[in-house]
């Protein structure tokens, strides 16, 4: 954030409200409207396959935004994000399967369970830091997934729980377009929630905690409370994403929430770039689309059938390579690249580099 | 009696794997979450050498062991060396990424089928009868022996060996160690090599005992709580931690629910993190060195 160039040609701010405004210039407003119009028009032109891809990106975006809030801004590492998604998905699945609850009950319940788990995941953070905290969330991931698996086998849903399409006001929520708009709305809302949290008191507190806990508490920030708050909000959002995933797929199974999913979410925020909401979105899109991109490339290769069964292995390998590449070569992630491209055009025709030291 | 044998074998497995976590953490403060994958790679190296030196099991195993040492060193030189100076957490994430990469590459090379390197080498796996009516397979017995030898070797190496003393120095204070002329990169590469070596020996023996699939990674990951319960920077701790974890796991399989076996190590880990995060034998001040 620190090396962001001013976009307007001059500094016209006269009060603090302008300083934290979400939309600062007219160009930004125009861009936003155009982008939104494109997103809304997209399902009317895209095929079912691309629609599904976009929907998956939105789902991943909710999860990665929540993890970015926790890790990228509050500095609390979580390697157990898939556990939270699983908790949300299972809450939704159990409520609708066993109690016939409507989606309006199931989603808030999933978020509430997520918030509760957030406290459980967050409590170790009051004592542990860094590595040890990451390990404790990793362990909790296994516990949550085990509970889900236990429920599946004990209740006889050993292959997974199927969920009927939810009915809202007499309409069945079914089909690609409907879910595209639902998840677009949820993703947009998550983005707005994160942006608002970050530009207010809580966001400043989290940044201070991330920078230095002792200094943060010396500044009068209640470190424990704000850490827990970060965990609660992040976990509630992740659980909500899990519940939406369950409804969208119509199916919950514990296999979907492996450790690899947690790693994927961590990869999203690394690839996107730590400490940037834009990065969370870019990372979610990148990680979601990468397997499909690889599949498309491999189908172009001669003798494509021969590679069909090694596809998932290629995915794994490519995914690992990309993650390592970003960690070593571009720790700022995609959002860092995006910012550099922007700066290039802002400064054009001059080829001035950002002042050294601006990049942390 | 059989229960006691099971506990000893399982804790030997965990201890042999856990000492890899401890070695790397102690020397470079990096938590190697790719250890399970590296261990599996060691087992697959045995599959590879078994096909080239099929007639000579000893040669095949020796070649695989040497190769695993090289692989561990290469991991440091090619990847982890680039992460020095970054946040410790970035290094951990790099090992996570390495694990994912290795998993994909291993399936690409050796496919996901179950392998039996023991059969390839023509080594039968017989059960030995122990006093008290318990039974133990030859390779499980070898595993216990390998663990004992590895730990004895590591203790002696760290205590009396020149390189071992340098390793401890590098772990205690890298800056001072470097100023005394210790080649840190060589030390770190050696630590990675040794860690992969011990892990690979465990992987190979497990593969010889009960075949090789990619579920082996989970064993590697379950050994990690053993390292942490004992204290991440203490070899003795890893031994004790492995015993604790293995006992808890065997008892829960026996008396509660077999499904629990994959979770119990992590439950013990959480309990430990709440009560005494630095582990039974770990150094307390480590906790703030994130």
Q: What is the tens place of the pLDDT at every residue in A54-76? A: 999 999 999 999 999 999 899 88
**Is pLDDT above 50 for A2?**
no
The CATH code of the domain at B2-122+134-288 is 1.10.3470
How many CB atoms within 10 Å of residue A191? 17
**Is A319 in contact with B104 (Cβ distance < 8 A)?**
yes
A185 pLDDT above the threshold of 50: yes
The rounded mean pLDDT for chain A is 85
Sketch the domain layout of chain B as residue ranges.
2-122+134-288
Distance (Å, whole) CA B112 – CA B104: 10
Burial letters A148-177, b for 16+ CB under 10 A, else e: bbeebeeeebeeebebebbeeeeeeeeebe
pLDDT value of residue B47: 86
Write down the pLDDT at residue B289.
41
Tokens (6 digits) for B76: 């440091």
Residues of A in contact with B79 (CB under 8 A): 324, 328
**Which residues in chain B have Cβ-Cβ distances shorter than 8 Å to A316?**
100-101, 103-104, 107
Cβ neighbours of B80 in A, within 8 Å: none
Q: Which residues is A161 bridged to in the sheet?
A: A252
- pLDDT number for residue A354: 54
Q: Does B78 touch chain A (CB under 8 A)?
A: no
pLDDT score at B147: 92
Give B262's DSSP letter: G
Interface list for chain A against chain B, based on CB atoms closer than 8 Å: 77, 79, 124, 127-132, 134-136, 138-140, 142-143, 146, 149-150, 153, 259-260, 263, 266-267, 270, 310, 312-321, 323-324, 327-328, 331
Binary contact (B93, A327; C-beta < 8 A): yes
Can you give the pLDDT at residue A349? 77
Q: What is the DSSP letter of A304?
A: G
pLDDT for residue B4? 86
Higher pLDDT, A173 or A209: A209
Q: Please tell me which residue, A342 or B36, carries the higher pLDDT value.
A: B36
Q: Please name the member of A130, A270, A319 whose beta carbon is closest to the beta carbon of B88.
A: A130
CB proximity B4 to A under 8 Å? no
Maximum average pLDDT range among B56-60, B78-82, B193-197:
B193-197
Contacts of A265 in chain B (CB under 8 A): none
Which of B 214-253 lie inside 8 A of A, CB atoms? 221, 224-225, 228
Per-range mean pLDDT, top range of A59-63, A306-310, B126-130, B221-225: A59-63
What percent of chain B is modeled with pLDDT above 70? Answer: 97
Q: Do B273 and A136 touch (CB under 8 A)?
A: yes
Residue carrying the six token digits 């920030």? A221
Chain B residues whose CB is inside 8 A of the A139 CB are 225, 266-267, 269-270, 273
B94: distance to nearest CA of chain A, Å? Answer: 6
According to the model, what pLDDT value does residue A21 have?
80
Runs of H (alpha helix) within A155-222: 176-198, 201-211, 213-218
Asked if A331 and B86 come within 8 Å (Cβ–Cβ), the reply is yes
Residue where the block lists tokens 């390839």: B120
Contact A163, A93 (CB under 8 A): yes
User: How much of chain A, in percent, has pLDDT values that exceed 70?
Assistant: 92
Question: A8-54, pLDDT tens digit by residue?
Answer: 666 677 888 877 788 878 888 898 999 999 999 988 888 888 999 99
> Residue A344, Cβ neighbours under 10 Å: how many?
13
Please compute, for residue B148, the number of CA atoms within 13 A of its CA located in the half-sphere on the CB side. Answer: 8
Q: Do B83 and A327 count as a contact with CB atoms less than 8 A apart?
A: yes
DSSP A79: S
Return the pLDDT at A98. Answer: 82
Q: What pLDDT is attached to residue A355?
A: 54
Q: Cis (ω within 30 of 0) for the bond into A349?
A: yes
Query: What is the residue-averaged pLDDT of chain B?
Result: 86
For residue A301, what are its two tokens?
Answer: 């290769």
pLDDT by residue (tens digit) across A320-350? 999 999 988 888 889 889 888 888 887 777 7
Alpha helices by DSSP H, listed for chain B, are 2-28, 35-52, 57-78, 88-110, 117-121, 138-160, 162-172, 174-179, 184-210, 216-230, 235-255, 264-275
- Can you tell me the mean pLDDT for B260-280? 84
Q: For A296-350, list the strands marked E by DSSP.
A: none
A154 pLDDT exceeds 50? Answer: yes
Residue A359 has pLDDT above 80, yes or no: no
pLDDT exceeds cutoff 50 at A1: no
- pLDDT tens digits, residue range A234-265? 999 999 999 999 988 888 888 888 888 999 99
Q: What pLDDT sits at residue B141?
A: 87
**Closest-CA distance of chain A to residue B15, Å:** 19
């Amino acid at each position: 954030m620190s090396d962001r160039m001013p976009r307007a040609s001059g500094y016209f701010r006269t009060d603090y409200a302008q300083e934290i405004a979400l939309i600062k210039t007219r160009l930004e407003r125009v861009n936003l409207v155009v982008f939104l119009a494109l997103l809304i028009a997209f399902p009317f032109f895209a095929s079912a396959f691309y629609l599904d891809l976009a929907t998956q990106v939105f789902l991943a975006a909710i999860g990665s935004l929540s993890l970015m809030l926790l890790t990228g801004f509050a500095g609390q590492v979580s390697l157990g994000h898939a556990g939270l998604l699983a908790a949300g998905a299972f809450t939704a699945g159990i409520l609708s399967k066993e109690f016939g609850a409507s989606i309006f009950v199931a989603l808030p319940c999933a978020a509430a369970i997520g918030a509760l788990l957030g406290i459980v995941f967050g409590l170790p953070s009051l004592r542990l830091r860094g590595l040890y905290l990451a390990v404790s969330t990793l362990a909790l991931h296994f516990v949550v997934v085990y509970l889900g698996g236990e429920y599946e086998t004990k209740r006889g849903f050993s292959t997974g729980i199927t969920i009927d399409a939810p009915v809202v006001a007499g309409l069945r929520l079914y089909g690609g377009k409907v879910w595209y708009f639902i998840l677009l709305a949820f993703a947009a809302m998550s983005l707005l929630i994160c942006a608002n949290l970050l530009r207010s008191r809580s966001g400043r507190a989290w940044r201070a905690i991330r920078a230095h806990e002792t200094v943060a508490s010396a500044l009068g920030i209640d470190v424990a409370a704000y850490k827990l708050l970060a965990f609660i909000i992040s976990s509630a959002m992740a659980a909500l994403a899990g519940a939406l995933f369950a409804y969208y797929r119509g199916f919950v199974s514990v296999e979907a929430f492996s450790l690899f999913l947690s790693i994927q979410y961590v990869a999203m925020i690394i690839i996107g770039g730590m400490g940037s909401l834009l990065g969370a979105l870019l990372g979610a899109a990148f990680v979601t689309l990468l397997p499909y991109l690889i599949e498309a490339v491999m189908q172009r290769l001669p003798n494509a059938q021969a590679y069909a069964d090694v596809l998932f292995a290629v995915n794994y390998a490519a995914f690992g390579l990309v993650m390592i590449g970003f960690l070593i070569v571009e720790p700022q992630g995609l959002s860092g690249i995006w910012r550099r491209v922007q700066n290039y055009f802002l400064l054009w025709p001059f080829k001035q580099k950002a002042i050294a030291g601006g990049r942390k | 009696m059989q229960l006691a044998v099971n506990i000893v074998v399982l804790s030997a497995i965990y201890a042999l794997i856990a000492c890899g976590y401890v070695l790397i953490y102690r020397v470079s403060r990096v938590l190697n979450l790719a250890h399970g994958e590296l261990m599996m790679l060691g087992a697959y190296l045995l599959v590879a050498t078994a096909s080239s030196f099929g007639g000579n099991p000893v040669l095949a195993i020796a070649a695989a062991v040497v190769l695993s040492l090289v692989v561990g060193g290469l991991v440091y030189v090619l990847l982890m060396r680039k992460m020095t100076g970054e946040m410790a957490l970035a290094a951990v994430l790099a090992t996570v990424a390495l694990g994912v990469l290795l998993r994909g590459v291993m399936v690409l090379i050796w496919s996901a089928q179950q392998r039996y390197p023991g059969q390839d080498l023509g080594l039968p796996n017989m059960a030995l009868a122990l006093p008290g009516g318990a039974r133990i397979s030859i390779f499980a017995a070898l595993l216990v022996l390998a663990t004992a030898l590895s730990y004895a070797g590591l203790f002696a190496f760290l205590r009396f060996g020149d390189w071992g003393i340098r390793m401890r120095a590098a772990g205690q204070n890298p800056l001072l160690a470097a100023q005394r002329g210790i080649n840190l990169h060589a030390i770190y590469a050696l630590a990675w090599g040794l860690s992969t070596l011990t892990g690979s020996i465990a992987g190979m023996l497990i593969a010889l005992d009960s075949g090789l699939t990619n579920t082996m990674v989970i064993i590697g990951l379950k050994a990690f709580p053993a390292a942490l319960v004992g204290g991440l920077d203490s070899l003795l701790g890893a031994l004790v931690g492995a015993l604790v974890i293995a006992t808890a796991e065997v008892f829960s399989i026996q008396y509660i629910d077999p499904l629990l076996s994959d979770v119990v190590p992590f439950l013990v880990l959480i309990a430990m993190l709440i009560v005494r995060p630095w582990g039974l034998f770990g150094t307390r001040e480590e906790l703030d060195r994130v």
